[in-house]
């Protein structure tokens, strides 16, 4: 009986984690993410709904978590004050401008998405997963962080990226490209994500600076058919920089 209870709890937590990765999650998505039978998922979802941790949106949209899940972290003191400080600021921007935002911190040789407002935005086409590792030289957040890192940090990152063998890190082998990228981002004060095949969205990002060096990066995501990168930068870079400064002031 104890083993069965442990297995049920483990499966329930896996469903909560899967629901947390998207604004809305269909049963098919949950099945793909967890590899649990759909009949099991339905029972677990019914339990989460009864307990107030999830709700069913519709047959097509699927399910989402409720604010009650924040109670699960009420006693958790994060050592990463950057992410904790960012939450109200990012939510306020999405509330006012509707576009989704995300914050990421460095994770060895990539950026790690730590929090996003996807669930608060009506314009969330893509999926920025919490815990997803994002390439440094392709993503807007990675470029913003990289460009505003110290010379020593950039050198260490380049050395790592040059030996990774990953396609997304190939630009690290081109010294001219890297120098131009850093100069452009530092001059502009923001970065735009690189072209990704079949990507219907793009990001504009700014660093969260402390002592003149990047500690994190925040990005606002846009639908390509709705706005151009140039127009998005004109309209929102100031807001992003103000938000980044507010986060930095609290860490």
- Are residues 152 and 187 located together in one domain of the fold? yes
Q: Specify whether the CB–CB gap between 24 and 61 falls below 8 A.
A: yes
- CATH number for the domain harbouring residue 58: 1.10.10.10
Element (H, E) at 95: helix 81-97
Which range of residues forms the domain containing residue 51?
A: 2-72
Domain co-membership, 118 together with 33: no
End of a domain among 22, 49, 72?
72
Query: Lowest mean pLDDT: which of 35-49, 54-68, 169-183, 204-218?
Result: 54-68
In this structure, the answer to whether residues 82 and 67 fall within a common structural domain is: no
Residue 125 has what DSSP assignment?
Answer: -
Q: What is the pLDDT of residues 135-150, one digit of tens each?
A: 899 999 999 999 999 8
pTM above 0.75, yes or no: no
The tally of domains found in the chain comes to 2
In this predicted model, what pLDDT tens digit does every residue of 77-132 receive, in sequence order?
Answer: 443 678 888 889 999 998 888 888 899 988 888 888 888 888 777 776 655 567 77
Confidence check: pLDDT of 197 > 90: no
In this structure, are 105 and 158 located in the same domain?
yes
* Domain end among 72, 91, 121: 72
* Angle between helices 38-50 and 2-19 in degrees, nearest 10: 80
Alpha-helical segments (H) within 98-208: 140-147, 151-162, 175-188
Using one digit for the tens of pLDDT, what is the confidence trace for 14-67?
Answer: 899 888 877 778 999 899 989 999 999 999 999 999 999 898 888 777 888 887
């Amino acid at each position: 009986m104890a083993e069965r209870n442990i297995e049920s709890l483990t499966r329930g937590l896996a469903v909560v984690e899967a629901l947390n990765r998207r604004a809305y999650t269909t049963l098919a998505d949950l099945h793909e993410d967890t590899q649990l039978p759909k009949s099991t998922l339905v029972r677990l979802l019914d339990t989460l709904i009864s307990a107030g941790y999830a709700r069913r949106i519709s047959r097509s949209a699927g399910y989402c978590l409720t604010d009650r899940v924040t109670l699960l972290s009420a006693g958790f003191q994060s050592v990463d004050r950057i992410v904790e400080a960012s939450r109200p600021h990012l939510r306020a921007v999405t509330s006012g401008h509707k576009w989704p935002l995300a914050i990421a911190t460095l994770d060895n040789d990539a950026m790690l998405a730590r929090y996003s407002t996807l669930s608060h935005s009506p314009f969330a086409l893509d999926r920025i997963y919490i815990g997803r590792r994002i390439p440094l030289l392709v993503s807007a957040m990675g470029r913003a962080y990289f460009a505003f890192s110290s010379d020593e940090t950039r050198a260490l990152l380049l050395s790592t990226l040059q030996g990774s063998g990953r396609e997304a890190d190939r630009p690290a082998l081109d010294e001219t490209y890297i120098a131009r990228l850093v100069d452009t981002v530092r001059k502009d004060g923001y970065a735009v994500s690189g072209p990704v095949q079949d990507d219907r969205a793009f990001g504009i990002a700014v660093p969260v600076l402390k002592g003149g060096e990047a500690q994190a990066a925040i990005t606002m995501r846009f639908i390509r058919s709705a706005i151009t990168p140039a127009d998005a930068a004109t309209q929102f870079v100031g807001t992003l920089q103000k938000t980044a400064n507010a986060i930095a002031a609290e860490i």
